[in-house]
Amino acid sequence: MKTHESMYKRTFRPMKKKSTVKVKSQRVDHLHIYITNSSSYTKTIKIDPSLKMAQQHSFLLLCFFLSISYLLSSAQTEATSIERLVPRDLYNKIFIHKDNTACPANGFYTYESFVQATRRFPRFGSVGSPVTQRLEVAAFLAQISHETTGGWATAPDGPYAWGLCFKEEVSPQSTYCDSSDTQWPCFPNKTYQGRGPIQLSWNYNYGPAGRALGFDGLRNPETVSNNSVIAFQTALWFWMTPQSPKPSCHDVMIGKYRPTAADLAANRTGGFGLTTNIINGGLECGIPGDGRVNDRIGFFQRYTGLFKVATGPNLDCENQRPYA
């Protein structure tokens, strides 16, 4: 099995409020229904005083159950946006061998953890046309597949069927501690090698990722390889968060990226290749025919086929200068 290569560099949005219902009857001739979710809703219904008590109680129960039905419908709509784009059967087709016993991460990257992690980033896979949404998700899944691949040229089902095989970098060559970064200082006996789907690396990424996601990334970097939801969230955090002068991968894939003069001079054009530049351009971009770049493209081409969308132009970054 192919061993995992070392990595280079690898927004928090508040979760939607949970919906609640309160039915309060302060007077027998009025029913007050309070429904709150992403937007508050209040409804007051008058009850005919001539109704008998039993009829009033039946009416109250009817209104209560109608309110519960509304909430369940609303919650289901909010909860299934990513599930509509990536239903469980498609997730399993994409990651055919993630739970193969040969994969060190088998059993770690569950569908439930992926879906739960995306809820913290509601703009992921939800901006633009349906084609744009599917293209972004395909690009994200392709990039994390390359970062965690266990595939090889003659692997069963091909080299692009072995994403999410690893959860931690194999045989890291360093502690990935940039001691010059005083804002995000390294802690004794802690290492910041690649972990999780995006292989988050370096103290200057673990620190801000942890702050955004609610864990101490500098004191407890191993959380990323021990908690599958947080692991996916770090990948989504990196994908969604611009790190100047780099745009976010999200903005690139939804067409929001606007190149600066420096970008134009460096030939950093929008497309899947630019997300590779953002993730690992210092090691992979500006190199004709780089095998790692081609591996990323291979995953992307397979996944866009499964999502039934075209890849678009600018798949590689061989003619792009990496970010400084």
The whole-angstrom separation of Cα 149 and Cα 165 is 6
For 43, phi and psi rounded to 5 degrees? -135, 130
Note whether 276 and 286 are within 8 A (CB).
no
Catalytic-residue membership of 83: no
Token pair of 248, please? 């976010």
Distance separating alpha carbons of residues 135 and 52, to the nearest angstrom: 59
Give Cβ neighbours of residue 170 (< 8 Å, ≥ 6 apart): 3, 4
Among candidate residues 106, 152, 200, the one with its CA nearest the CA of residue 298: 152
Considering the candidates 147, 168, 169, 284, report the single residue annotated as catalytic.
Answer: 147
253 token code pair:
């894939």
Q: How many helices (H) and strands (E) does the chain have?
A: 12, 3
The residues carrying an active-site annotation are 147
